[in-house]
């Protein structure tokens, strides 16, 4: 314990019997309290914190004491996970198989304790104090795997495992009055926890912890035992394969050779100048393109036919998290983790349903007329919502389902003033909801074919003939229309320009946050809720960098040694196997599919882990040497910038002054009887990377600077470089 | 033994078969394989020298970092096979 706590409650609470409700976050607790009792009374539990002889009133734990239809209730809040899996005992040896749940703050060193940890500690102490006085318990965290684990672990750690058999569960997908009241009554009447989800969640926490701690320690021990160096290295069940995706993509990019192809640019003189498309498409042989140019230059383009076809464009399916993240990236370039953060805030405000869902189905009991009429009260949606109500129709649904939650939809609750990403994400959700009620849009696809001295060219366009759902979709209608000029069969136009367009294949693209998450989803690793965090943790570990995601040298070393000495760690199959075991546990508990318990999963998981650790232990020396050699060569590469331009003998290196601690570029010949004392200044913030490319303006060496959180930039070492002056001027102008 | 490419400190992947490290070896193989498509595209008069020089010097073409390094090395070595 960080400090001693003295918890006092108002007398009227201590004397009464009550049910304890446990919400996931303070804002959810306060919303639920408000819905269950209009006259809810916020109770401030005074928590006195005594540490080092000092007594602080901080922090205070806020709870809500409410009179519900079914009796008195004390609603307390966690702050996400209050407990975490930790090693039983001390030391950093491996393998380590003994673990326990422990309050999160206890894991931290004293110097790292933050106000957030103090609040967590106070929350645990307050729940401990109050839980013992309660007669019943209701878990009211988000209804998903994590929510089940948050509630289940807190109560079982404080009151013992047995209590979980009697703990009631509120299951809701929106923080709205109706749904909260309904789920509360169902809980009181006997709705229990979902042990399938709970056990699946426990398995994930246990095995992820065992995987992470043992494999990471195996890497660090190998390095320490072979070279004496210490470096924080880590890998994990989903981290490993994700790193593999980026490394494999990087390899393809770095070794990519483009392939040439040819196109003919041809312009005719109609009312405006119009570019036609060669109907033979892109050509692989240059001489074929040359021949077309020869045949068409100075000729007349004759319209030989005009073809019009109509097609249907169905309304979009209801949004699940993955689709929401795709659309937010497509229309607003919002990253998947920021979209989730916005959606989570909107959910906490009660304006949308629970966002961590795979479902494309609306809840069967959802009253669409009511929801639409409530949305109509939100400024900006009145007219469209009215038109959708007029349709008197049921919305379409997609095929995907989720056992815990329906799709993402607006609840009709008026949001408070929305700004930034929250506003954009909300609009996307509302517009998608409207669109699902609409008819298919009817598209008219047009093609005009031309003959130019026996060479075929054409123009294509598309036009929305009947708007259908697009009428309600706002800006979220997909590709824009492309209208064609009004030509008639037999029209002739002079060819005014023909030229060869030499093209080269572009090669694979770098992953970005969204495409990497999509890849993880395709490969079925991680969950919709954890994928974004795993990508973030690879960035924190400095294995990945940049918006166009690149693997760093350290990330590459880790991937290389793991794929060489224990390929399973970075394989998708193993991670997928574990997800399947989770499904088996859930189905088994829910009596759907055979018998497979948490213990069975743990045994199988440990057998897999043991195999991987054995491989790494047997190759400890090789693993350590590989990492150490790579680190040394990377350090060398990272320091050397190029040949000295003054003495022409030494090498320019990044040097850190032992006196001032500042970094600069200096010549290696300085260390040889001070033969050369050339130096160049460097920016003191951000990560530096040497680049072999010389400055285009003065051919001086350059370094790439990665300032945290901003776009990387390239710096020419020459302080009087013309490009650098230009850059400074632009910067000043922008600031001005 | 280190890879023959300037500033590459990685070990040669298989001493008897190549002079490159793993990544440069893959880049080298890709360069050789793709040359066939360039020959088809530009005709049989197109030479390995034209090809490598274009790969190195044309900034408008998107190509891998390791490919440029191998192409530069081959130009230096006048390796036109």
pLDDT tens, residue by residue, A393-403 = 999 999 999 87
CB contacts of B30 in chain A (<8 Å) are 255-257
The answer to whether B10 contacts A507, with C-beta atoms less than 8 Å apart, is no
**Interchain pair A692, B42: CB under 8 A:** no
Across residues A418-437, what is the average pLDDT?
96
A503, closest residue in chain B (CA to CA): B61
Cis omega before residue A132 (within 30°)? no
Number of other residues whose CB lies within 10 A of the CB of residue A473: 22
Can you give the pLDDT at residue A61?
A: 64
pLDDT at A223: 93
Per-residue H/E/C for A288-347: HHHHHHHHHCCCEEEEEEEEEEEEEECCCCCECHHHHHHHHHHHHCCCHHHHHHHHHHHH
Q: Are A531 and A521 in contact (CB under 8 A)?
A: yes
Residue A696's pLDDT is 80
Q: Distance between CA A241 and CA A546 in Å, rounded? A: 19
Pairing relation of β-strands A260-269 and A273-278? antiparallel
**B64 to A260: CB separation less than 8 angstroms, yes or no:** no
Q: Residue B67 is nearest to which of A256, A284, A637, comparing CB atoms?
A: A256
CB contact under 8 A, B64 and A257: yes
Partner residue facing A692 (CB), from B7, B37, B41: B7
Nearest to A257 among B41, B43, B63 (CB): B63
**Residues of chain A neighbouring B66 (CB-CB closer than 8 A):** 254-255
Interchain contact, A254 vs B43, CB within 8 Å: no
Tokens standing for residue B55: 């790969």
Burial of residue A214, with CB atoms counted within 10 A of its CB: 0-12 exposed, 13-18 middle, 19 or more buried: buried
- HEC string of chain B? CECCCCCCCCECCCCCCCCCCHHHHHHHHHHHHHHHHHHHHHCCCCCHHHHHHHHHHCCCCCCCHHHHHHHHHHHHCCCCC
Say how many C-beta atoms besides its own lie within 10 A of residue A308's C-beta: 13
Mean pLDDT lowest for which of A21-35, A291-305, A361-375, B62-76? A21-35
Q: Taking a C-beta distance cutoff of 8 angstroms, is the pair A397, A318 a contact?
A: yes
Give yes or no for a contact between A687 and A674, defined as CB atoms under 8 angstroms apart. no
Q: What is the mean pLDDT of chain A?
A: 87
CA A257 – CA B62 distance, rounded (Å)? 8
B61 in reach of chain A (CB within 8 A): yes
* Chain B nearest CA to A358, separation (Å): 38
Q: Would an 8 Å CB–CB cutoff place B13 in contact with chain A?
A: no
Residue of A nearest to B40 (CA): A285
CB contact under 8 A, B66 and A254: yes
What confidence score (pLDDT) does residue A524 get?
Answer: 83
Q: What is the mean pLDDT of residues A264-277?
A: 91
Q: What is the pLDDT, as a whole number, of residue A594?
A: 63
B 31-60 near A (Cβ less than 8 A): 31, 33-34, 37-38, 40-43, 55, 60
Q: Tell me what the mean pLDDT of segment B12-40 comes to.
A: 90
Which of B26, B42, B62 minimises the CB distance to A286?
B42
For residue A727, name the pLDDT band (cuts at 50, 70, 90): low
Beta-strand pair A71-77/A83-87: unpaired
Q: Which of A5, A83, A347, A354 is catalytic?
A: A354
How far does B76 lie from chain A, in Å, by closest CA? 17
Mean pLDDT of the region A200-212: 93
Query: Are A433 and A318 within 8 A, CB to CB?
Result: yes
**DSSP 3-state of A731:** helix
Q: CB-hemisphere CA count at 13 Å for A32?
A: 33
Residue A46 has pLDDT above 80, yes or no: no
Q: pLDDT value at position A605? A: 93
The pair of structure tokens assigned to B6 is 């300037």
**A171-209 burial, b if ≥16 CB within 10 A, otherwise e?**
bbbbbbbebbbebbeebbeebebbbbbbbbbbbbbbbbb
Taking the C-alpha atoms of residue A497 and residue A698, their distance in angstroms, rounded to an integer, is 39
Nearest in space to A569 (alpha carbons), one of A533, A614, A522: A614
Q: Chain A: give the shortest CA distance to residue B55, in Å.
A: 8
Nearest to A483 by CA among A456, A442, A444, A440: A444
Task: Grade residue A41 by pLDDT with cuts at 50, 70 and 90.
Answer: low
Of A688, A634, A700, the closest CA to residue A663 belongs to: A688
Distance from CA of A500 to the nearest CA of B (A): 13
Interface test with B, best of A254, A262, A564 (most B CBs within 10 A): A254
Distance CA A655, CA A687 (A): 14
Interchain contact, B64 vs A262, CB within 8 Å: no
Which of A180-189, A302-311, A517-526, A706-715 is least confident? A706-715
Angle at A235 between CA A229 and CA A241, to 5 degrees: 140
Confidence grade of residue A733 (pLDDT, cut at 50, 70, 90): low
Residue A309 has pLDDT above 90, yes or no: yes
**pLDDT bucket at A458, cuts 50 / 70 / 90:** very high
Question: Which residues in chain B are contacts of A635 at CB distance < 8 A?
Answer: none
Least CB–CB distance from A254: residue in B37, B40, B65:
B65
Size of interface A-B (CB pairs under 8 A): 67
Q: Show residues of chain A in contact with B33, CB under 8 Å.
A: 257
Residues of B in contact with A258 (CB under 8 A): 34, 61-63
Out of A256, A285, A506, the one facing B41 most closely (by C-beta) is A285
Cβ atoms < 10 Å from Cβ of A580:
12
Q: Which residue has the tokens 């991937």?
A: A559
Q: Dihedral (C-alpha) A87, A93, A96, A101: value to the nearest 10 degrees?
A: 0
Question: How close is the nearest chain B Cα to the Cα of A260, in Å?
Answer: 7
Lowest mean pLDDT: which of A94-103, A315-324, A535-544, A593-602? Answer: A593-602
Query: How far apart, in whole angstroms, are the C-alpha atoms of residue A575 and residue A241?
Result: 8
Instruction: Inspect the interface and report whether the beta carbons of B27 and A258 lie closer than 8 Å.
Output: no
Smallest Cα distance from B39 to chain A, Å: 9
A716 dihedral zone (left: phi>0; alpha: psi -120 to 50; beta): beta
pTM equals 0.78
How close does chain B come to A664, measured CA to CA in Å? 21
For this structure, is A433 an active site residue? no
Q: Is the pLDDT of residue A47 over 70?
A: no
């Amino acid at each position: 314990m960080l400090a001693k706590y003295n918890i006092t409650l108002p007398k009227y609470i201590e004397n009464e019997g009550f049910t304890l409700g446990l919400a996931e976050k303070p804002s959810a607790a306060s919303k639920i309290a408000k819905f269950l009792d209009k006259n809810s009374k916020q109770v401030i539990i005074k928590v006195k914190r005594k540490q080092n002889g000092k007594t602080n009133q901080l922090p205070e734990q806020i709870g809500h004491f409410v009179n519900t239809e079914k009796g008195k209730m004390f609603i307390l809040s966690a702050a996400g996970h209050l407990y975490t899996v930790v090693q039983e005992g001390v030391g950093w040896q491996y393998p380590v198989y003994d673990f326990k749940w422990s309050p999160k703050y206890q894991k931290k060193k004293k110097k790292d304790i933050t106000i957030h940890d103090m609040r967590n500690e106070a929350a645990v102490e307050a729940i401990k104090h109050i839980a013992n006085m309660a007669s019943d318990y209701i878990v009211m965290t988000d209804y998903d795997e994590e929510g089940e684990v948050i509630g289940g672990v807190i109560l079982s750690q404080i009151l013992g495992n047995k209590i979980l058999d009697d703990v009631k569960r509120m299951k809701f997908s929106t923080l709205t009055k109706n749904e909260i009241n309904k789920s509360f009554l169902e809980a009181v009447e006997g709705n229990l926890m979902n042990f399938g989800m709970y056990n699946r969640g426990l398995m994930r926490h246990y095995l992820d912890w065992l995987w992470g701690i043992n494999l990471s320690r195996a890497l660090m021990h190998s390095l320490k035992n072979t070279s004496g160096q210490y470096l924080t290295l880590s890998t994990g069940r989903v981290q490993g394969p994700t790193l593999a995706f980026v490394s494999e993509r990087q390899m393809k990019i770095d070794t990519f050779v483009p392939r040439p192809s040819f196109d003919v640019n041809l312009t005719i003189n109609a009312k405006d100048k119009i570019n036609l498309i060669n109907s033979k498409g892109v050509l692989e042989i240059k001489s074929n393109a040359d021949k077309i140019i020869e045949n068409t230059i100075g000729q007349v383009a004759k319209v030989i036919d005009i073809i019009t076809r109509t097609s249907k464009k169905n309304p979009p399916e209801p949004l699940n998290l993955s689709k929401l993240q795709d659309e937010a990236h497509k229309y607003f370039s919002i990253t998947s983790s920021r979209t989730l953060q916005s959606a989570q805030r909107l959910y906490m405000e009660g304006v949308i349903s629970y966002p961590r869902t795979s479902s494309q189905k609306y809840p069967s009991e959802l009253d669409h007329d009511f929801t639409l009429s409530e949305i109509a009260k939100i400024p900006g949606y009145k007219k469209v919502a009215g038109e959708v109500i007029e349709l008197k129709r049921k919305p379409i649904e997609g095929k995907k389902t989720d056992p815990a939650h329906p799709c993402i939809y607006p609840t009709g609750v008026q949001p408070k003033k929305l700004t930034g990403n929250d506003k954009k994400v909300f609009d996307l959700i509302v517009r998608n909801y409207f669109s699902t009620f609409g008819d298919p849009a009817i598209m008219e696809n047009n093609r005009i074919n031309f003959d130019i001295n026996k060479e075929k060219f054409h123009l294509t366009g598309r036009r929305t003939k009947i708007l259908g759902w697009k009428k309600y979709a706002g800006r979220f209608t997909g590709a824009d229309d492309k209208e064609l000029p009004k030509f008639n069969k037999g029209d002739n136009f002079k060819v005014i320009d023909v030229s060869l367009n030499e093209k080269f294949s572009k090669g694979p693209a770098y992953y970005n946050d969204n495409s990497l998450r999509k890849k993880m989803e395709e490969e079925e690793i991680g969950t919709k809720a954890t994928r974004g965090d795993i990508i973030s943790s690879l960035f924190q570990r400095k294995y990945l960098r940049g918006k166009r995601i690149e693997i760093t040298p350290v990330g590459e070393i880790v991937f290389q040694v793991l794929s060489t000495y224990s390929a399973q760690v970075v394989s998708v199959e193993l991670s997928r196997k574990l997800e399947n075991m989770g499904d088996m546990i859930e189905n088994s508990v829910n009596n759907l599919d055979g018998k497979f318990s948490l213990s069975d999963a743990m045994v199988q998981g440990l057998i897999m882990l043991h195999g991987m650790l054995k491989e790494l232990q047997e190759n400890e020396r090789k693993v350590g040497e590989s990492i150490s050699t790579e680190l040394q060569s990377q350090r060398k590469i990272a320091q050397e910038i190029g040949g000295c331009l003054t003495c022409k003998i030494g090498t320019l290196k990044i040097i850190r002054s032992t006196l001032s601690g500042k970094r600069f570029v200096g010549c290696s010949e300085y260390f040889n009887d001070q033969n050369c004392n050339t130096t160049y200044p460097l920016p003191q913030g951000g990560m530096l990377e040497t680049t072999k490319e010389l400055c285009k303006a003065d051919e001086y060496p350059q370094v790439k600077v990665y300032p945290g959180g901003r776009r990387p930039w390239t710096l020419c070492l020459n302080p009087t470089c013309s490009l650098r002056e230009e850059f400074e001027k632009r910067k000043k102008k922008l600031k001005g | 033994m280190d890879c023959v490419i300037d500033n590459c400190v990685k070990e040669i992947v298989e001493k008897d078969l190549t002079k490159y490290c793993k990544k440069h070896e893959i880049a080298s193989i890709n360069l050789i394989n793709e040359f066939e498509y360039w020959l088809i595209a530009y005709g049989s008069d197109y030479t390995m020298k034209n090809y490598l020089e274009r790969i190195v010097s044309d900034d408008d073409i998107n190509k891998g970092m390791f490919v440029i390094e191998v192409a530069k090395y081959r130009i230096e070595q006048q390796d036109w096979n």
